[in-house]
């Protein structure tokens, strides 16, 4: 037994020693891996409305919420190592506690419970527009704080100490459910000192690498915004590159004697977005960015590709030479109808527009990159009563995926206005700068414009006159917040396993929209602003409140199914398709995992074959270009 015990102790010692070892030599930093992910994220603030369809992939790399959901649908620790429920007998309060792990922000300041509290208070600030506010409404005082009636001191959040977060609920609440809800990346912590400093200067704290601090496994090293190229701005290949560079967070869970790559293997991940094209490929100026970057991948100049147009997706999909992997996301593309518009104020018109859409044709003929035609507002993958049951499967089909022109015409026959002029607003992912390289303009295909025009064809078939308006990201978001649109095509990014988060914002008290604090208003429901669609239904709001206050998850799910059916009948918005996340990876890389229920790819252990030689050649080329 003594020999066995000695052997075990020896093995444990060896494991502890090798755990701190590194593959890096002295003064080495590690591999720099080049990838192409998605459109440029104009803000990395997780709490605000997001308009990029894949921005959550980036957010998941640089921020860490309290929990996460693994590929089997089970809640796992993330920033929190454990959580538990405790009833306060003296004050008769229902409380939940989260123990936080020891880790640091990318500027080496310890992550604390106060950082989580600040992030959640910020979302609930009356001046804040955040569609994620309703997820925090189980917390005591949250709805009053959002309305401006209550103060921050009334909110049931407290830091018992630096690493122990106390959450007090309005009433008894399901601990497992709340643990699932806070896995939402949009509820990740953020730093009060950074946000406050930037707001005073009139800046977006999450749009500049010089400001943003991260508590995730990577930090933002640089964030080059799309703009006109200057002659001396070239990447290693000699072409203008708009890119986001993520660098290993050197302080993530790292103690003083730990190896630099103990928790995060790659040193940098360079995410390209737009590039100038200078005699790179034949007829290159006719290529879209997706085609241009796919060619770079095929030439082994990029190692990971997860943004496609229809042509590049078809090239890789089913091609035995490439292993195209696809994962579901919990996000979709929706059309919002402005119910304050004279024509669209009639639910029959809105439902007619929804029924006229051929969702199958849109995903097969227009997008063509693995999207799934929507059969309801809430996507597949959202939990019903637990992770073993799917909300969409239980709720069944609420939309037809093909066009239903007869139903559309029947609905329109009941409307007070059966025709008129409507403008469809769509996103232009690029901003309004001109991208030029030696006099040549970068070409791009705007799928959002194509979706809008395809939908417009169906709506013109009903007798409406359709105009189109494309807006850059800043103007697009401003139009949404100001409700300055008739119909707007928008990426709906909730990133949640809870149907409540998709449905609740359409209820006035749960919209998350900013409010003007007015102490003269007596009724709480009169204070809140409506959803971006201007929908205001007291019956719908009551149903959402019933779901929030339901005593068990079965009753809660039943109320949410009722709410989804009512939402489809009110039709302030209609879901068109649900996003999938697809990617191809080079044989030169390994170690990445698709182990998240949300479709995120974990690049923590990403390895690049012969990275020393590869990165050295790139540095030589860059040095030569700079010298020239």
pTM higher than the cut 0.85: yes
Range of lowest pLDDT (316-320, 435-439, 606-610): 435-439
- Last-in-domain residue among 563, 580, 597: 580
Ranges 4-8, 73-77, 145-149, 207-211, most confident: 73-77
Q: What is the pLDDT of residue 238?
A: 43
Residues 58 and 180 in one domain: no
User: Residue 82: CB partners within 8 Å, gap ≥ 6?
Assistant: 98, 99
Print the domain residue range for 248.
28-45+53-64+191-305+587-628
- Last-in-domain residue among 161, 188, 215: 188
**Does residue 419 carry a pLDDT above 70?**
yes
pLDDT in tens, 361-386: 999 999 999 999 999 999 999 999 99
Total of domains in the chain: 3
Whether 584 contacts 324, CB under 8 Å = yes
Q: What average pLDDT does this structure show over 587-608?
A: 93
Q: What average pLDDT does this structure show over 325-335?
A: 94
Calculate the average pLDDT of the chain: 88
Residues 558 and 599 in one domain: no
Whether 378 contacts 390, CB under 8 Å = no
**Does residue 440 carry a pLDDT above 70?**
no
> Looking at the domain assignment, is residue 315 inside a domain?
no
CATH code of residue 90: 3.90.76.10
Ranges 1-5, 277-281, 518-522, most confident: 518-522
CATH code of residue 300: 3.40.190
Can you say how many angstroms the Cα of residue 2 is from the centroid of all Cα atoms in its chain? Answer: 55
Residue 22's pLDDT band, with cuts at 50, 70 and 90, is low
**Does residue 15 carry a pLDDT above 70?**
no
In whole angstroms, what is the distance from residue 548 CA to residue 269 CA? Answer: 41
Q: What average pLDDT does this structure show over 126-150?
A: 94
> Looking at the domain assignment, is residue 17 inside a domain?
no
Q: What is the pLDDT of residue 521?
A: 52
- Last-in-domain residue among 136, 153, 188: 188
Helix (H, G, I), strand (E, B) or coil at 459: helix
Q: What average pLDDT does this structure show over 467-473?
A: 94
> Looking at the domain assignment, is residue 13 inside a domain?
no
Q: What average pLDDT does this structure show over 110-122?
A: 98
Q: What average pLDDT does this structure show over 196-210?
A: 90
Q: What average pLDDT does this structure show over 388-415?
A: 96
Residues 439 and 576 in one domain: yes
607-613 CB contacts, 8 Å cutoff, 24+ apart: 607/31, 607/265, 607/266, 608/31, 608/32, 608/33, 608/266, 608/303, 611/30, 611/31, 611/32, 611/33, 612/28
> Looking at the domain assignment, is residue 548 inside a domain?
yes
Residues 153 and 203 in one domain: no
> Looking at the domain assignment, is residue 7 inside a domain?
no
Share of the chain above pLDDT 70, in %: 86
Residues 361 and 481 in one domain: yes
Residues composing the chain:
628
- Provide the pairing of β-strand 304-305 with 32-36: parallel
Residues 341 and 457 in one domain: yes
Residues 168 and 283 in one domain: no
Q: What average pLDDT does this structure show over 80-97?
A: 94
Q: What average pLDDT does this structure show over 88-102?
A: 94
Residue 423's pLDDT band, with cuts at 50, 70 and 90, is very high
Residues 549 and 624 in one domain: no
**Does residue 437 carry a pLDDT above 50?**
no
CATH code of residue 418: 3.10.105.10
Residues 299 and 350 in one domain: no
Residues 283 and 411 in one domain: no
- Return the H-helix or E-strand segment holding 88: strand 80-88
> Looking at the domain assignment, is residue 311 inside a domain?
no
Range of lowest pLDDT (37-46, 324-333, 353-362, 420-429): 37-46
Residues 405 and 538 in one domain: yes
Residues 149 and 293 in one domain: no
Q: What average pLDDT does this structure show over 537-546?
A: 97
pLDDT in tens, 270-306: 998 766 544 444 555 567 778 888 988 998 889 999 9
Q: What average pLDDT does this structure show over 211-226?
A: 89
> Looking at the domain assignment, is residue 184 inside a domain?
yes
Q: What average pLDDT does this structure show over 346-356?
A: 98
> Looking at the domain assignment, is residue 23 inside a domain?
no
In whole angstroms, what is the distance from residue 48 CA to residue 125 CA? Answer: 12
């Amino acid at each position: 037994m003594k020999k066995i015990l000695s052997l075990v102790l020896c093995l444990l010692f060896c494991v502890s020693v090798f755990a701190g070892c590194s593959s890096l030599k002295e003064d080495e930093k590690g591999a720099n891996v080049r990838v192409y992910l998605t459109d440029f994220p104009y803000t990395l603030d997780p709490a605000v409305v997001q308009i990029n369809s894949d921005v959550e992939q980036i957010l998941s790399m640089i921020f860490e919420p309290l929990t996460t959901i693994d590929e089997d649908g089970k809640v796992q620790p993330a920033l929190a190592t454990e959580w538990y429920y405790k009833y306060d007998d003296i004050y008769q309060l229902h409380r939940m506690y989260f123990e936080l792990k020891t880790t640091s922000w990318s500027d080496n300041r310890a992550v604390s419970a106060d950082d989580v509290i600040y992030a959640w208070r910020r979302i609930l600030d009356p001046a804040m527009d955040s569609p994620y506010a309703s997820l925090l409404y189980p917390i005591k005082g949250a709805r009053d704080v959002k309305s401006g009636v209550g103060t921050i001191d009334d909110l049931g959040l407290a830091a018992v100490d630096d690493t122990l977060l106390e959450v007090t609920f309005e009433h008894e609440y399901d601990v497992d459910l709340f643990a699932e809800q806070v896995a939402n990346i949009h509820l990740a912590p953020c730093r009060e000192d950074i946000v406050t400093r930037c707001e005073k200067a009139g800046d977006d704290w999450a749009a500049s690498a010089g400001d943003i601090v991260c508590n995730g496994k990577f930090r933002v090293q640089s964030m080059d915004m799309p703009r006109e190229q200057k002659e001396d701005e070239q990447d290693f290949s000699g072409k203008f590159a708009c890119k986001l560079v993520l660098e290993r967070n050197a302080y993530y869970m790292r103690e003083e004697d730990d190896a630099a790559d103990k928790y995060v293997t790659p040193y940098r991940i360079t995410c390209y977005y737009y590039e100038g094209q200078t005699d790179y490929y034949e007829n290159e100026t006719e290529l879209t960015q997706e085609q241009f970057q796919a060619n770079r991948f095929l030439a082994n100049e990029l190692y990971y590709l997860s943004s496609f147009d229809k042509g590049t997706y078809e090239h890789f999909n089913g091609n035995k030479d490439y292993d195209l992997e696809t994962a579901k996301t919990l996000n979709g593309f929706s059309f919002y109808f402005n119910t304050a518009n004279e024509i669209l104020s009639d639910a029959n018109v809105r439902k007619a527009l929804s029924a006229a859409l051929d969702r199958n044709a849109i995903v097969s003929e227009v997008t063509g990159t693995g999207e799934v035609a929507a059969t309801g507002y809430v996507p597949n993958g959202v939990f019903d009563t637990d992770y073993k049951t799917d909300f969409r499967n239980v709720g069944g089909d609420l939309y037809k995926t093909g066009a239903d022109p007869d139903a559309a015409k029947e609905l329109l026959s009941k409307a007070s206005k059966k025709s008129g002029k409507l403008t469809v607003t769509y996103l232009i992912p690029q901003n309004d700068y001109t991208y030029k390289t030696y006099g040549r303009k970068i070409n791009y295909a705007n799928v959002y414009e194509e979706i809008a025009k395809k939908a417009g064809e169906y709506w013109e078939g009903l007798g409406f006159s359709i105009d189109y308006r494309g807006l850059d990201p800043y103007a697009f978001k401003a139009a949404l917040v100001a409700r300055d649109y008739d119909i707007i095509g928008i990426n709906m990014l909730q990133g949640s396993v809870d149907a409540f988060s998709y449905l609740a914002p359409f209820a006035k008290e749960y919209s998350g929209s900013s409010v003007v604090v007015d102490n003269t208003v007596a009724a709480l429901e009169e204070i809140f602003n409506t959803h971006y669609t201007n929908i205001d239904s007291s019956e719908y709001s009551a149903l959402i409140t019933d779901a929030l206050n339901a005593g068990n998850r079965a009753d809660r799910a039943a109320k949410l199914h009722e709410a989804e059916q009512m939402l489809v009948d009110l039709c302030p918005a209609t879901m068109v398709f649900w996003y999938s996340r697809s990617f191809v990876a080079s044989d030169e890389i390994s170690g990445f995992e698709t182990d998240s229920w949300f479709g995120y790819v974990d690049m923590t252990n990403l390895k690049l074959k012969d990275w020393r030689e590869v990165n050295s050649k790139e540095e030589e080329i860059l040095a030569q270009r700079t010298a020239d």
